[in-house]
Amino acid sequence: MPTIFFYGPELDKDKKKELIRSFTKKASELTGIDEASFVVYLKKSDPKDVGVGGELLEDRQKGQ
Amino acid sequence: MPTIFFYGPELDKDKKKELIRSFTKKASELTGIDEASFVVYLKKSDPKDVGVGGELLEDRQKGQ
Amino acid sequence: MPTIFFYGPELDKDKKKELIRSFTKKASELTGIDEASFVVYLKKSDPKDVGVGGELLEDRQKGQ
Amino acid sequence: MPTIFFYGPELDKDKKKELIRSFTKKASELTGIDEASFVVYLKKSDPKDVGVGGELLEDRQKGQ
Amino acid sequence: MPTIFFYGPELDKDKKKELIRSFTKKASELTGIDEASFVVYLKKSDPKDVGVGGELLEDRQKGQ
Amino acid sequence: MPTIFFYGPELDKDKKKELIRSFTKKASELTGIDEASFVVYLKKSDPKDVGVGGELLEDRQKGQ
């Protein structure tokens, strides 16, 4: 039943798989809940749609 | 004021309408809050971006 | 794998059960995904911690 | 460390920047936490994927 | 219909009111959507339940 | 800037620390983003407020 949301950059497929495997394994160990019950949502956050420190991330990354 | 988020597969328009109508009607009945106050967000979850039981859903669906 | 979040008022146990049963049944029908795969989170929203139309809900409910 | 999610319509870049700047500045003032610690996620909500008052927003906007 | 979630520290009532008023007013201006349609959820995040930079916030705040 | 939400059972402090440390370390490795930029929210989900497979989790756990 536990659910994990990851808001971050787009990843390639192998990295998605590793992130899901690693988060699920560790969370299962710590909670004692079976791995089969875990759902992980990867929510890609485009730098055009994220603000950090009051600035658009897209602009920060350009060094503006 | 209540707000519902649905993370699930993409649906066609008629199914979206029925899901929104049904969730809103039932939740309005149970809370006693007017239907007009309900907002439902349908957040499509692509199998490339969901992990279930430690595996990418896209891979599970292929029977891997 | 679908996940539903309900942000709304506290409900008594029978209403929680009916909301969960109803949302899960309808969403399972519309998506074709087995009921066993659905998780519903009821996230109680205290009127002290919700704003509607720019005002604290707690104050609106008092008729201020 | 505070995090803000904004579920609303798509905005042009200047409006995104102003929303991020304004939310961050005000929240920093009120919490006493440095602006650098704030993250704002702008989550565009397509009227095809939002229900208001039991209806698809896309349909309400057409005056149906 | 827009919805804002604020994950941050507990605030006193006057600060909650100002945060809600300010976020709603600015977001209404920028989106052109009536203030009455905005909902803001203040989700208090206890330092016992937040991690920053890999550490529990509660521990960081103690200077550990 | 990445943000992780964990909806699951309450954990003791040492387990919270290990979960935060492990998720942050792995996500930092995979994204190439500095650990200092990660925020993790642990959102405890009480079995009285979670539905699984159409039933209240509290009831499932009692074997009803």
pLDDT tens, D2-61? 999 999 999 999 999 999 999 999 999 999 999 999 999 999 999 999 999 999 999 998
C-to-F residue pairs, Cβ atoms closer than 8 angstroms: 48
E-to-F residue pairs, Cβ atoms closer than 8 angstroms: 48
Q: In a mutagenesis test of the B interface, which of D43, D55, D60 is the best target, namely the one with the most B β-carbons within 10 Å?
A: D55
Residue A34 has φ and ψ, to the nearest 5°, of -55, 140
pLDDT of residue E22: 98
8 A C-beta contact, residue F29 and residue E61: no
E62 three-state secondary structure? coil
pLDDT of residue E57: 96
The pLDDT of residue A64 is above 70: no
pLDDT of residue D1: 79
Q: Which of B13, B36, B40 sits opposite D50 (nearest CB)?
A: B40
pLDDT of residue F62: 86
Rounded to an integer, the average pLDDT of F25-54 is 97
D32 three-state secondary structure? coil
**Whether B45 contacts chain C with CB within 8 A:** yes
pLDDT tens, E30-49? 999 999 999 999 999 999 99
B62 pLDDT band, cuts 50/70/90, is confident
8 A C-beta contact, residue B16 and residue C24: no
Rounded to an integer, the average pLDDT of A35-54 is 97
F36 pLDDT band, cuts 50/70/90, is very high
E56 pLDDT band, cuts 50/70/90, is very high
pLDDT of residue A62: 86
**Whether C53 contacts chain E with CB within 8 A:** yes
Mean pLDDT of chain E: 95
C42/C33 Cα distance (integer angstroms): 21
Rounded to an integer, the average pLDDT of B10-19 is 98
Three-state secondary structure readout of chain F: CCEEEEEECCCCHHHHHHHHHHHHHHHHHHHCCCHHHCEEEEEECCHHHEEECCEEHHHHHCCC
DSSP E30-58: HHT--GGG-EEEEEE--GGGEEETTEEHH
Q: In a mutagenesis test of the E interface, which of B34, B39, B43 is the best target, namely the one with the most E β-carbons within 10 Å?
A: B39
pLDDT of residue E1: 79
E62 pLDDT band, cuts 50/70/90, is confident
Cβ contact E16–C48 (<8 Å): yes
The pLDDT of residue C1 is above 90: no
pLDDT of residue A35: 97
E41/C6 Cα distance (integer angstroms): 12
Rounded to an integer, the average pLDDT of F36-63 is 95
Q: What is the pTM of this model?
A: 0.96
pLDDT tens, C9-64? 999 999 999 999 999 999 999 999 999 999 999 999 999 999 999 999 999 988 75
DSSP B43-63: EE--GGGEEETTEEHHHHHTT
The pLDDT of residue C8 is above 60: yes
C8/F29 Cα distance (integer angstroms): 38
